[in-house]
Amino acid sequence: MINQLVDRILGPRIPQVEVADQRGLYQRPRTLFTAAALVLAVSIMLPYWELRLKAPQFPKGLRVTAWVNRLEGDVQELEGLNHYIGIPSFEDGAVLERSVAIAGILGLAGLLLAGLYIHSRWVMVFVGPAVLFPVFFLADLQFWLWNYGHSLDPRAPLSGAVGEFTPPIFGPGKIAQFDTFAWPGFGFMLAILAAVLTARGLIAHRRAYRPLIAAASLDEAGQPDSEVSA
């Protein structure tokens, strides 16, 4: 039973004659999945999101750089402002996400590499999360931006003057007297590149293995070889 399940997940083997005649057809999805895994792993070493704030009392502006597991930049200055506005501390936000981010992204890269050995429709289960990862990151970031802007402590001196707000993920915005501008970091851009490579790999995988999967299904149904080859 277990062996049958493993065989179904791994999919049909490539005939040796096919390997010799159409090596590029079967190599393309492997190359794309490998490249996506490497790009995704490298993205950990680069920032994913950046925010710049300007106000009269800060003529040089304040800047925050978000990596997958930490914040860098003028964090302490902003924490001081948060105290007066009533915004929760940055340390209280996305605790779970920051704690599992690196392991999670490396896990996605590992699933992409595992997808090299999957010749069936199950490949989507292994590599699909890499395609969805940038969307998940943006959705989670938007949630926390909204959460911080709608969790003001009414006891803070300036909470009433600021009011609730939701900074945009990208582009210009305004928080009280602060003009803000946010843009994606190079790490996030690499994550998008990995998603594109993975999607192209899935298309190449379908082109390469769909005929083999169809032929294997006919064999299991007991169809004669003549019909399979037709």
Q: Is the dihedral of CA 150, 154, 158, 163 positive or negative?
A: positive
pLDDT value, residue 142: 95
Q: In this structure, which long-range contacts are made by residues 161-164, counting pairs with CB atoms below 8 Å and at least 24 apart in sequence?
A: 162/85, 162/86
pLDDT value, residue 227: 41
Q: What is the pLDDT of residues 137-178, one digit of tens each?
A: 999 999 999 998 888 888 877 766 777 788 899 999 888 778
Domain ranges within the chain, ordered by starting residue? 2-229
Q: Could you tell me the end-to-end alpha-carbon distance of the chain, in angstroms, rounded to an integer?
A: 31
Low-confidence ranges of the chain (pLDDT < 50): 224-230
pLDDT value, residue 216: 67
**Other CB atoms closer than 10 Å to residue 92's CB: what's the count?**
10
pLDDT value, residue 218: 64
pLDDT value, residue 229: 37
pLDDT value, residue 100: 96
Nearest-10 Cα torsion for 198, 98, 103, 124:
-30
Contact of 113 with 2, CB cutoff 8 Å: no
H/E stretch holding 50 reads strand 49-55
Cα 46 to Cα 188: distance, rounded to the nearest angstrom: 8
| 115 DSSP 8-state letter | G
66: which strand partners?
49, 71
